[in-house]
Amino acid sequence: MPSSTTTTRDPGLRFTCQPGCTRCCEVKGYVYLSESDLPRAAAYLGLSAAEFERRYVYRTRHLLRLRKPRHSQCHFLQGGGCAIHPAKPTQCRLFPFWPELVGSRKAWRETARWCPGIGTGPLIQIGTALETAGEMREAYPSLYEDD
């Protein structure tokens, strides 16, 4: 319907994680850890940080990421859930309020195609979403240093 006033509904930033869903743990990609994620996850599993790193982490000069098992995206995706849920890495905890998603309507809409929580639940204030995205930047400075 042509109109001089916009008829496009702005869905805003709505999000509620859906019970039982693990889609974001299954999409292709890396799971990065902040320096403080590592000892927290280790302690949750009753391991030393060094042992956790030896078993599960790949460290580069500027980044830490979980090693990938051969047939899934994440070692900790077990029995339909996250085996380290209370101590999961920052990027998992903050999804989908990542800077690259909050800052791009297109990226947000594309992510909504596979994340069933996007577009549901209460409207999230943009300030709150940006604050959460800022937490991502702080946790992973080398991933966002060129922004």
Positions in the binding site for ligand SF4 (CB under 6 A): 17-18, 21-25, 31, 74, 76-77, 82, 84, 88-89, 92, 95-96, 115-117
Amino acid at 135: E
Tell the smallest beta-carbon distance from residue 111 to ligand SF4 (Å): 8
Is 38 or 115 the residue whose CB approaches ligand SF4 more closely?
A: 115
d(CA 101, CA 103): 5
Is 30 or 144 the residue whose CB approaches ligand SF4 more closely?
A: 30
Tell the smallest beta-carbon distance from residue 130 to ligand SF4 (Å): 18
Beta bridge partners of 48: none
Tell the smallest beta-carbon distance from residue 72 to ligand SF4 (Å): 9
Is 77 or 130 the residue whose CB approaches ligand SF4 more closely?
A: 77
Tell the smallest beta-carbon distance from residue 127 to ligand SF4 (Å): 21
